Structure 1
Amino acid sequence: MVTVNIGMLHYILDHVYGAFVHRTKITPPFFSRGWGGTKLELLERLISQLFPEVEGQNWPPSLIQPIWRTVWETQNACLREGVFRTPCDEQLLSALPPESHNARVAFLVPKDVPPQKMACVVHLAGTGDHTFERRLRLGGPLLKQNIATMVLESPFYGQRRPMLQRGAKLLCVSDLLLLGRATIEEARSLLYWLDSEAGFGKMGVCGLSMGGVHAAMVGSLHPTPVATLPFLSPHSAVVAFCEGILKHATAWEALREDLAAKEAAMTLEEVRERMRNVLSLTDVTRFPIPKNPNAIIFVAATDDGYIPKHSVLELQKAWPGSEVRWVTGGHVSSFLLHNNEFRKAIVDGLNRLEWKESSL
């Protein structure tokens, strides 16, 4: 009985936090400027082309050339920040806001260890994670195990945020798809750089919540085995925006009015169905199984108010051989309290990979 009550408290905490952040007037809701017009049509077409991925399709990606500066350096570790032009093609580049054209990364590495004897994990941003700090704190303790951390600042976030956007509240539905598509391209290029230029012996990709969805997509599309580590993540953005707490943070009336300007008047329920159809493009179960399913570890929360259990289990079912680990808590409390479990999943996922032959 006590366990049930504690679980319910975690679940309630998610809803209280969601109500404070998403139902107050502190910031505007998501998609207050509508669907995104022709940009949405472009993104729907481009994302459809991602799957099913043909062997070797769109590989290798554009080779990036980051410009690095050292932030700090100790006897045992070094933190650098890099800037590079997003490798997105001209269609995506023209759709991205100018502020998002240059990507930023933080790179935390152990010193005096050859790259071929190290692993590196690319950490992708969850909703509202505008800075490097949280993900660097997650990865920092792994330096002792010769695991480096590469943190990508997402398009539309941090210094890449459009001038008119308030916080994480994207202005158009097309921005959500664009953020995801650009993040995938940038993360794939970072993995390619870590492999071909930096020479790391093993690689992985992880993320929390939205970042976990993107990590799953990147791991799916990578042509060689990488550790794929989605944390507190749904199988699709449909779960977050149409079923979960974020449905209360969505400007449904603005979306209805935007459609009404082009089509016949629609009910709010029809608008929600349109949203489901658009966001079905983010359904990771439609993506290929990563090359080493044994190195896929999902970490999910038992009482998550944002991500229901069925969504996590759909991904596990779609990717046979993957593992789900459950932590006791909700979305918010697990985000705060279970970093050690996330780190253990990273270590275990990497340990299930073979070292590159050049590392032996």
Structure 2
Amino acid sequence: MPASRLDAIYRSILLTKFFTKGWGNPENLRRIFEFRKIVANREACYNLIPSDYPVTVTKFFWRRRNLIAKPLLKESGIGSILLENPFYGLRKPKDQIRSSLHNVSDIFIMGGCLILESIVLLNWCEQQGYSPLGLTGLSMGGHMASLAATNWPKPIPLIPCLSWSTASPVFTEGVMSASINWALLESQYFGNKMYQNDLAKMVRIIDQDDAFLAGQHFAKHYPDSMTRLDRIKVESKKRNEELKTSKDSSKLNNCDNTHKASANTIRKIKVENGKMAEEEAAADLFSLNLISNRFKSPNLNSWKGVCLFPVSKHPLFSDSKWREHEALQFMRGIMDECTHLRNFETPVDTELIIAVCARNDAYVPREGCMSLEEIWPGAEVRYIDAGHISAYLLHQKLFRSTIAEAFQRSLKKYPIDKS
């Protein structure tokens, strides 16, 4: 399915940039990688938090309160605790603009904090007699909820919305990748040997690290990426060869006319589309290489059928071998190391998991990633025919009904003992 055009447009008009200070302190990254192994062990992680750890409350959650929490309480009788992310709202550094994290390492610190804080809140809810308990979130919040669920030692409904199995493609393939100063990251990577000699050896890209998987991906999508122009060019070449070998003048004339017609058709396609169709084919195969000028075009029809992942014109992507750049591979590796759900334990009961995904999500690409069903057998994934932004704007009611359904599923399987 084509990626959402609205996602690409929305991201292109935002001026905020991510990771403007780079990777973060290399020593801190090393400690984060080591801590991830502790957090990935449910028992070890759970025991890090005292059961009576105190809870505090703040009140700055307008969107989640009014779009999810209040309607959920009114419609289904489900109360909510709205957790504010570290590095967000009142918890962000004073010089940080909105949610634009300064360092790559910040997102891993955020994830570790949310896992531990979720344990604190769930323990408090149990002590207050609330049941059943569940976890949900949208976009990055959905992924954070998934990470938190891996460390709760009991069955728990989980409803991750508009997220997937890892944050790796979000920052290396999706529209968010255009908001990263890759030149800075590459400069830091090669400027400090610790990144290459120590840290790179501590991480591993989980998805598509097997050449067979990459070959499967290419074989699966190559026929679909053949544009109309490709087919015409193949046919024209074939007919051109017939021209050279044929002795029949009538056949020669017919083929020549056909060849001219094909050439005219090619030119027509180029004019109609406003750009070379070969670029569209390349975009289908290697979406990060497409530097689209269509954001400047008032004619949205010119976007039709094009998978848009606008990446800035910086040196990292100046050639056709961007996949070989070590900085990009390092980003994939550290994101998989710290956020890939396969690196964490499986939730106690995966049948209580209902994920809601946008089929045309350009923020959270799923192609080439392990699916939630593969990692968590028994989990259910549902798809909305929308992009990331349109799903968030138009499908809040669906998110709420899915949350309520997951809670009902939990009550049916684990009835509350009222004795």
Scaled by the length of structure 1, what TM-score is found? 0.74
For 2:5, the aligned partner's letter is I
Match among 171, 174, 181 for residue 112 of structure 2: 181
Q: CA deviation at 1:57?
A: 5.0
Residue 316 to residue 49, structure 1, CA distance change in 2 (3 Å):
same
Contact 1:60/1:192 (<8 A) preserved? no
Over aligned residues, Cα RMSD in angstroms? Answer: 2.4
Contact 1:239/1:311 (<8 A) preserved? no
The percent of aligned pairs where both chains have the same amino acid is: 32
Q: CA deviation at 1:290?
A: 1.2
Aligned 1:14-93 pairs, distance under 5 A: 14-21=7-14, 26-27=15-16, 29-37=17-25, 38-54=27-43, 58=47, 61-67=50-56, 82=57
Residue 343 to residue 357, structure 1, CA distance change in 2 (3 Å):
closer
Once residues 257 and 167 of structure 1 are traced to their aligned partners in structure 2, the CA distance between those partners, rounded to angstroms, is: 26
Aligned 1:154-303 pairs, distance under 5 A: 154-196=85-127, 198-263=128-193, 268=316, 269-280=325-336, 281-303=338-360
Aligned to 2:225: none
Contact 2:169/2:366 (<8 A) preserved? no
Q: CA deviation at 1:19?
A: 1.1
Aligned to 1:13: 6
Aligned to 1:340: 397
Aligned 1:131-146 pairs, distance under 5 A: 131-137=60-66, 138-144=68-74, 145-146=76-77
- Greater fraction helix: 2
Q: CA deviation at 1:59?
A: 6.2
Aligned to 1:92: none
Residue 264 to residue 193, structure 1, CA distance change in 2 (3 Å):
closer
Report the 3-state secondary structure (helix = DSSP H, G, I; strand = E; otherwise coil) of the residue aligned with 2:83: strand
Once residues 48 and 37 of structure 2 are traced to their aligned partners in structure 1, the CA distance between those partners, rounded to angstroms, is: 17
Aligned to 2:258: none
Q: CA deviation at 1:309?
A: 4.1
Once residues 166 and 56 of structure 1 are traced to their aligned partners in structure 2, the CA distance between those partners, rounded to angstroms, is: 31
For 1:45, the aligned partner's letter is E
Once residues 218 and 194 of structure 1 are traced to their aligned partners in structure 2, the CA distance between those partners, rounded to angstroms, is: 15
Once residues 157 and 362 of structure 2 are traced to their aligned partners in structure 1, the CA distance between those partners, rounded to angstroms, is: 27
Residues 134-182 of structure 1: CA deviation (Å, up to 9, x unaligned): 1112121121322101101111110111012112111111111101111
For 2:329, the aligned partner's letter is E
- Greater fraction strand: 1
Once residues 238 and 224 of structure 1 are traced to their aligned partners in structure 2, the CA distance between those partners, rounded to angstroms, is: 28
The structure whose RCO (Cα within 8 Å, separation 6+) is larger is: 2
Q: CA deviation at 1:312?
A: 7.6
For 2:8, the aligned partner's letter is H
Residues 220-263 of structure 1: CA deviation (Å, up to 9, x unaligned): 11001111110000211101001111111112111122223322
Once residues 20 and 234 of structure 1 are traced to their aligned partners in structure 2, the CA distance between those partners, rounded to angstroms, is: 25
Once residues 349 and 98 of structure 2 are traced to their aligned partners in structure 1, the CA distance between those partners, rounded to angstroms, is: 37
Report the 3-state secondary structure (helix = DSSP H, G, I; strand = E; otherwise coil) of the residue aligned with 1:207: strand
Aligned residues: 287
Match among 298, 303, 316 for residue 373 of structure 2: 316
The higher radius of gyration belongs to: 2
Contact 1:301/1:334 (<8 A) preserved? yes
Residue 278 to residue 199, structure 1, CA distance change in 2 (3 Å):
same
Contact 1:217/1:287 (<8 A) preserved? yes
Once residues 148 and 264 of structure 1 are traced to their aligned partners in structure 2, the CA distance between those partners, rounded to angstroms, is: 47
Q: CA deviation at 1:65?
A: 2.5
Q: CA deviation at 1:60?
A: 5.3
Residues 5-37 of structure 1: CA deviation (Å, up to 9, x unaligned): xx85x711111111112xxxx33x211111111
Contact 1:237/1:282 (<8 A) preserved? yes
Once residues 311 and 135 of structure 1 are traced to their aligned partners in structure 2, the CA distance between those partners, rounded to angstroms, is: 31
Aligned to 1:77: none
Aligned to 1:95: none
Q: CA deviation at 1:202?
A: 0.5
Q: CA deviation at 1:358?
A: 4.6
